[in-house]
Structure 1
Amino acid sequence: MKIIIDYLIIVNFKGMRNLTITFDQILTNIFGDNATGKTTVFDAFTWLFFGKESTDRKDFNIKNTVDSSLNRQDHEVSAVINANGSKITIKRILREKWTKKRGSEIPEFTGNETIYYWDDVPVNQNEFNKKVSGLIDEKIFKLISNPAYFNELKWQDRRQILFDIAGEVTNEEIAGSNKKFREILAHLTNGKTLEDYKKQVASQRKKIKDDLEQIPTRIDEVNKNIPEMADASLIRRDIDTKQSKIKFIDDQMADRSNSMNAAYEKVREHQQMVYSKQNALDTIKNQVEQSIKNKDQDLVSERNQITREINYKEQELKQIEAQRERRQNEIQSVKFYIEDKRNQWKTINADRERVSAQQLVFDDHAFTCPTCSRLFDTDDIEAKKDEMLSTFNNDKEAQIASYAKNLALVVSQADSLKNDLKRLESLDTSEEIKTISDEIQVLRGNLSRFNEEFAGPGLSLEQLLETNEEYLRLLNELDSLKSSAPEEPKVDLTDLQNEKIELEQEIRQLERELAKEVVIKQSKERVSSLEADEKRLASELASYEGQEFTIEAFTRKKVEEVESRINGLFNHVKFKMFDVQINGGEVETCDTMYLGVPYSDLNNAARINAGLDIINTLCKYYGVNAPIFIDNAESVTKLIDVESQIIRLVVSEVDKKLRVA
C-alpha cells in the first residue's frame, strides 16, 4: 500500500484562514518564515486522519485565538489522497453549536460537533475511523511519516519494534551444540530468564565468597579460645586419691554411728509405740466424727425428700387448677357459640316464614307489547300468567328448601355444642384439688416438725469422745509413754565431716579443670570442620565463577548475533542492543548509531537521514508507504533515497507567507 497526498485544503484551522496545497508525488517543498504555518500543515493532515496534531496531542486548540469571531465558522481540513492509484476524498469539520434558550434573543455557545465525509458522503465517527484504519494503522503512520518519531520512543519500545522486524533470537539458537551453554539453559525453568539466573549465580557466588573470607578469622577465634590445661592423667590420679580418702572418712563415721545402734534402737521402739497409740486414737476420733456426719446427712436427705414431695404436689395442683381455668374458658366459649346458633336459627326461620307468606302480584305492563303498547290476547295473557306463577312457585320452593337446609345445619351444630358443654361441665376436678391441697398441708406439717427436731442441739465430737472407753484408755497409755521417753544418744562427727567437705571441694575444683579437656577437644573438632568448609566453599566458588564466565560468553555471543541480525536490515544506521558495564556485564538497551555516532550526538541533518533509513525498513516490514513530513528540512542538503512521498518543511526568512515548490 502506497499513500500519496494529491491535494490538501485547510480552512480556518489554527489561525490559517484558507490554504490549498497541490503536492508532487515524489517531493514537495513548503517554504516559510518562523510562525507562518509550516508545522500547521503537518498538524492539519494528522488531525484529518486521527483527530490529533503531529506531536500526538489529542486535546489541542485548532480554533483562532486572535479573532474569536472566526470560530463560529467551520474549521475544516480536506484532502485528496492516492492509495495504490485509487483517489479518495477525506474531510473533517469541527463546528461550534450555538443555541437560543427560551426567552432569549441571543444564541449561546453549547459545545462542538465533528462532521466526517468520505468521498463526499457523510459518515459517523466509527465508520470514519474504520475506513482510516483500513488505509493505515495510526501507530504505523506515526513511525513512517515522521523521521524523528522512532527515536523519540522509549528504548524498550524501540527494542521491541526491532525484534518484531528481525525476529526474536532464542537462547537455544545461541547455545547450539555448545555443552556449557546448554547446561546454563537447563537452569532457565519456570519463567526464569538468563538475567535472573545470572543474578542468582552472582548472589550465590558473593555469599560463598563472603563466607569463605570469614573462615580464617573464625578459625583464629576458636584457636584463641582454647584453654590451657595441666596433664589430664595427673588430675585424674589426684581425684582418685582424694575420693579414696573420702571413703575412709565415711567408714570412720559409720563405725562411730554403729557403736550407738542399741541406744538408737530403743529410742526407735519407743517412738513406734507412741506412733501406734496416736494412730489408734486418730482412728477412733475419725470414726466418731464420720458417724456424726452420716447422721446429719440422713436427716438432710429425709428433709429434702419431704421438700421434693411438697414441690411436686404444688406443681401438680397448679397444673390441675390451670386445666380447670382453661375448661371454664372453654365452657363460656361454647355457651357463646350456642347462643349465636340460637340467634342464627331465629334469623333463618324468620326469613323462611317471610318467603312462605309471599304471593305473586302481576304487573299490567307485563302483558302489553313493549313496541306498540298493545295488550296481548287473552290466551297469551293466561299462558304468560301460568308461566310466571310456575317460575315464582319454583323459586319460592327452592328458597324455602334452602332455608330448611340451613336451619337443620344450625340445629345440628347447636346440638354438637350442647354435647361439648355437657362433657366439659362433667369434668369437675374440685375433689382432686381438695385432696392434693390436704396432702400438701400434711407434708408441710411434717416438714415443720422435722425442722424443729433438727434444729435442736446434738452431742458434739468432744462430748462423744469423753464417753468412749476405748478412746480414754488409749489416751492414758499415750500420756504414760510420753512421760517415760528414753533420752536420744548423741554422736560427734564434726571433725570427720569438715575434713570430708574440704576434700569434696578440692575434687570439684579438679573436675572443673578436667572439664577443659572436653572444650579443647570440641575446639579442635570445630577447627577441622571449618577447614573442611573452607575447601568445600573454595570449590563451590570456582564453580560459580565458571558459570558466570560461561554466562558472559553466552551473552556476548547473543549480543553479537542480535545486533548482526538487526543491523543487517538497515543501510546506514546501526543499533547497539546491549550496553557493557564496568563489571563486564551486559544490560539491554537500544541506542541508534549513524555512521558510528550515537543518535543523541548527531546534528539535525544526520538525525533526519537516520530517521529516513529507519522509515525505509519499517515501510518494507509493514508493507505500506505514507507521506514523510520533514520539519526543519533546511538543515539537510542531501536526503537518502526513500520510496515514500516527501514533504519538506523549510524555514525561509524571506518567505513571510507559505510558498509551495
Structure 2
Amino acid sequence: MQVIFKTLTLVYYKSHRDITVNFGERTDITGDNAKGKTSITEAIPWLLYGTDALGSKLDPTPITYEAEETKVSLLLEVDGKELLLGRSLKKNKTIYHVNDVPSKAGEFNEVVEKLFNKDLFLSLYNPNYFLSMHWEKQRSMLLQYAPSPVNKDVLKQMPDEQSKSLSDLLKKHSLRDIQEIHKENKNTLNKKYIAAQSRTKTLKEQVDLLPNVGVPIESLKAELSQIDKLVQEKEALLDDIWEKNQVFTKIQSEILNLQHQIEMSKARWPVLRDEIVEDACRTCKRPLDEESMKSVKEDHEQRKFTYQKNHTGLLDARKVLQRKLKETEFIDPAEFREEIKTLDESGQPLREAIQINGQLGRLQEQVNQAQTDEKETLQSLNDSIFILDSVKAFKAKEAELQGEKVQALFETLSVRLFEEQKNGELKNTFEIELDKKPYSKLSTAEGIRAGLELRDVLSQQSELISPTFIDNSESITSFKQPVGQLIVSRVVAGQELKIEGVEN
C-alpha cells in the first residue's frame, strides 16, 4: 500500500494562523529557528493520533495569539484513492471529519487504524520514532518480519546426536516444556544421585566391618551338615534309650504296685487265719446246729484257700516282673546328652560363619544393586544434562539463524537480538549499532542515517510506502533517499518560513 500526502491545511495551529502545504515527491521546509517548521510536520501525527511525531501528547493551540478553534486537515491518496481527514479542537472538545463528514471519535480512529498500524506509520514517518520506543517493542515489531526459524531448520544445523534427541522430544512437547521438565529432572536426580552415592558408601563400609571367613559358604555348609547328621543320629539313639528306659520304669512301677498289694495281703492273713469259728449265730445268738456249724467251718476254709491262692498269684506275678526287670537294661542318657551338646556346640562356629557369609552375601547384593541404581541415576542425570545442553544449543542456533535473517534485512546497521548471560543462557535484548557503536552513542548525522535505513527496512517488509520527514537535515551532508515521499526540514539562518514541493 502506498500513502501519499497531497495537501495539509493548518488553521490557528500553534504559530500558523492559516497555512496550506502542497506536498511534492520531495518537500523542503526551510527557515530560521522558531518559524514553525517542526509544527508543520507534527500536525500530521496530531491529526491522526493526537500526538507529536514521537507519540507524546501535543497541545496544538496557538501560543502567541488567541483563537476559538484549531483545525488541521490532510488530503491523502491511498493506492490512488483520495481521503480527506480532519481534526479540530474547540473549547477542549475534539471534532473529527472524514471526507468532510463529521464523525465520531471511534469512527475516525477506525478509518485511521484500517490504513496503518500507529507504531508502524510513526516509525516510517519519523525515523526517530522507532528508536524512541522501548527495546522490547522495537524487537517485537522488527521480528514480525523475520520470525524465528522453524524447528526442523534449526535441527538441521545442530550436531546429529543433539538434533535426534530434541527431534523426538519436540514431537510431544514444546522447547520450553522440555527445558522445564529436564530442569526439574536434573534437580531431582542430583539429589537422588547424592543419596545413591551415600547408600553405596554406607553399604561398602558395612561389608568392610564384617570379618572375612575365608572359606566358601558351600564348604561351611557341608561341614555343618556332617555335624548335624551326627547330632541327629545321636538324638535318634537317645530316643531309643528313652523308649527302653520307659519300659524299665514301667516294670519298676508295676513291681512297686504288686509289692504294695502283697503287703496289704500279708496284713489281712493273720486276721483270717486266727478267725474263731463260733457255734452261735452272730446276729440272733442262737446256737448253730451241726450242719450249720459244718457250713461255717467250710466257708472259713474256703476263704483261707482263696486268700492263699490270690496271695500266691501276687508273689508269682512279682517274680515274673522281677525276672523281666533283670532282663531289661536301664541306660543313663546323660552321656548321650553331653555328646549331643558337644557335637552341637562344635557346629556353632560354622553356623556363625555361615550367618556372616549370608550377611556378607546379602550386603554384597545390596551393594551391587546400589551401584546399579547409582549408575542408572547418573545416566538419567547425564541424559537430562545433555538434553538441557541441547536445548541451550538449539536456542543459540535459533538465535544465530534468526539474527542472520534479521541482519540480512540491513545494509550498514547491525542488530543485536540476544546477549549471553554468565550461565550461558541467552537473554532477549535489542540494540541497533552502526560501525559497532550503539544508537545512543551515534552523532546526529549517524542517527538520521540509522533511522532512515531502519524505516526503509520496515517499509519494505510491511509493504507500506508512506512519507518520511527528516528534521534538522542541516546536520547531515548526505543520506540515502528513502522510499516514498520525503519531507525535509532545514534551518536557514535569517530566513522566513519557506515551503517548496518538488515532483522529482
Q: Give the TM-score band, short-chain normalised.
A: 0.5 to 0.7
Change (3 A) 1:228 1:30: farther
Change (3 A) 1:31 1:209: farther
1:643 equivalent to 2:483? Answer: yes
Aligned residue identity for 2:109: N
Change (3 A) 1:543 1:127: closer
Question: Out of 216, 219, 222, which is 2:203 matched to?
Answer: 222
1:609 equivalent to 2:462? Answer: no
Is the Cα contact below 8 Å between 1:201 and 1:544 reproduced in 2? yes
Deviations 1:508-564 (A, max 9, x none): 999999866554333222221232234434544555555456555544543343223
Question: Out of 26, 49, 71, which is 1:76 matched to?
Answer: 71
Structure 1 unaligned spans of 5+? 97-111, 253-257, 262-506
Query: Offset at 1:642?
Result: 0.4
Is the Cα contact below 8 Å between 1:174 and 1:558 reproduced in 2? yes
Aligned partner of 2:141 in structure 1 is 161
Is the Cα contact below 8 Å between 1:634 and 1:650 reproduced in 2? yes
Question: 2:108 is paired with a residue of what secondary structure?
Answer: helix
Q: Distance in 2 between matches of 1:192 and 1:84?
A: 42
Question: 1:612 is paired with a residue of what secondary structure?
Answer: helix
Is the Cα contact below 8 Å between 2:54 and 2:128 reproduced in 1? no
Identical amino acids, percent of aligned pairs? 22
Change (3 A) 1:118 1:555: closer
Please show how residues 391-410 of structure 1 align to structure 2 within 5 Å: none
Aligned partner of 1:520 in structure 2 is 360
Change (3 A) 1:134 1:160: closer
Aligned partner of 1:625 in structure 2 is 465
Aligned partner of 2:3 in structure 1 is 2
Question: Out of 87, 94, 101, which is 1:92 matched to?
Answer: 87
Please show how residues 322-337 of structure 1 align to structure 2 within 5 Å: none
Aligned partner of 2:43 in structure 1 is 44
Please report the TM-score for the alignment, with normalisation by the length of structure 2. 0.60
Q: Distance in 1 between matches of 2:454 and 2:157?
A: 35
Structure 2 unaligned spans of 5+? 242-246, 251-346, 500-504
Which is worse superposed, 540-549 or 566-575?
Answer: 540-549
Change (3 A) 1:229 1:161: same
Query: Offset at 1:594?
Result: 2.6
Cα RMSD of the aligned pairs, angstroms, is 5.4
Aligned partner of 1:341 in structure 2 is none
Q: Distance in 2 between matches of 1:632 and 1:225?
A: 85
Change (3 A) 1:572 1:641: farther
1:188 equivalent to 2:176? Answer: no
Query: Offset at 1:188?
Result: 1.3
Change (3 A) 1:52 1:259: farther
Aligned residue identity for 1:220: K
Aligned partner of 1:114 in structure 2 is 94
Please show how residues 304-319 of structure 1 align to structure 2 within 5 Å: none
Query: Offset at 1:219?
Result: 2.6
Query: Offset at 1:148?
Result: 2.7
Aligned residue identity for 1:171: N
Query: Offset at 1:613?
Result: 1.0
Q: Distance in 2 between matches of 1:191 and 1:159?
A: 26
Question: 2:478 is paired with a residue of what secondary structure?
Answer: coil
Is the Cα contact below 8 Å between 1:37 and 1:658 reproduced in 2? no
Q: Distance in 2 between matches of 1:11 and 1:228?
A: 108
Question: 1:54 is paired with a residue of what secondary structure?
Answer: coil
Question: Out of 151, 158, 164, which is 2:131 matched to?
Answer: 151
Number of corresponding residues: 407
Is the Cα contact below 8 Å between 1:5 and 1:627 reproduced in 2? no
Query: Offset at 1:166?
Result: 3.6
Please show how residues 558-597 of structure 1 align to structure 2 within 5 Å: 558-597=398-437
Q: Distance in 2 between matches of 1:658 and 1:201?
A: 70
Aligned residue identity for 1:77: V
Aligned residue identity for 2:170: L
Q: Distance in 2 between matches of 1:556 and 1:536?
A: 30
Is the Cα contact below 8 Å between 1:75 and 1:93 reproduced in 2? yes
1:138 equivalent to 2:133? Answer: no
1:598 equivalent to 2:438? Answer: yes
Query: Offset at 1:81?
Result: 4.3
Q: Distance in 1 between matches of 2:416 and 2:101?
A: 49
Aligned partner of 1:20 in structure 2 is 19
Query: Offset at 1:116?
Result: 2.5
Deviations 1:406-432 (A, max 9, x none): xxxxxxxxxxxxxxxxxxxxxxxxxxx
Query: Offset at 1:609?
Result: 1.8
Deviations 1:271-321 (A, max 9, x none): xxxxxxxxxxxxxxxxxxxxxxxxxxxxxxxxxxxxxxxxxxxxxxxxxxx
Is the Cα contact below 8 Å between 1:30 and 1:647 reproduced in 2? no
Question: 2:127 is paired with a residue of what secondary structure?
Answer: coil
